[in-house]
Chain A
Amino acid sequence: MSVKKFMYINRKPPYGTVYALEALEVVLIGAAFDQDVSLAFIGDGVYELTKGQNTDAIGQKNFSPTYTALGDYDVKKLYVEKESLEERGLTLDDLQHLVWEDEDDDWAEKDSIHLVSRAEMADVLDDQDIILSF
């Protein structure tokens, strides 16, 4: 089976609508298909990755820990748009630290989040075969 470049675009914040959660469910299932997978976080999508989420009082499941498991599913290219963070008064320090283990490098932990400029993000999007949006 051919390998395609699959891009999951995340532009919606969590909890207010179900899109972020159900997008993550597609990513987890899709990981089994051995494709070249990337995730893009643009606009309010960057809010999906904030650390310290606590949903106890709103009656929904906190699914933010699932992002930390993505590395175990070999999903290790999470592109976060720098301008989107800045426009929202956020920095990388406000996001969860997401890593994957590189088996070719003695299982060294490597960052999954790639902070990219808007221009770089445009290049990343342009390079995809299949783009899924939610």
Chain B
Amino acid sequence: MKLSIQINEGPYQHQASDTAYQFAKAAIAAGHEIFRIFFYHDGVNNATRLAVPPRDDRDVSAQWTALSKEHDLDLVVCIAAAQRRGVMDAAEAKRQGLDADNLAEGFRISGLGQLIEAGIQSDRLVVFGA
């Protein structure tokens, strides 16, 4: 079955991203297709590559990057929510005249239409939040 996931919260503050990650891994292991994972609200903060959690804690952002690499996942970060919160890829940072970018590997920034399209194209949409 084709599944999509929406994540509304950032890492560490809430369990939402952790649960979504475990759910995604289980869905892939069961042979389902993850059509898209869409990061919205503070969920865009999962996509920063500048987080440095303590060594004995999980690295939420790096986990997503690794899962994406392994299974060719489409990790989409909402551009409007990302701009509000300072999550930028190199192209967007340049366009905005900013001196830095922070989007982690495996994520891409795009519009809210990607969430709607995920709902249209997928058999199920599961939302994780606070």
Contacts and interface: CB of A to CB of B under 8 A. Distances in A.
- A/B: CB atoms within 8 Å of each other: yes
A131 B122 CA distance: 12
A132 B6 contact: yes
Interface string A106-134: 00000000000000000000000111111
A132 B81 contact: no
Interface residues of B, number: 18
Contacts of B116: 6, 26, 29-30, 33, 35
Interface residues of A, number: 20
B30 to A, nearest CB: 21
B125 A132 contact: yes
A33 B117 CA distance: 8
A26 B127 CA distance: 14
B86 interface: no
Interface of B: 6, 8, 40-41, 80-81, 111-113, 115-117, 119-120, 122, 125, 127, 129
Interface of A: 1-2, 4, 6, 18-19, 22, 25-26, 29-30, 32-33, 35, 129-134
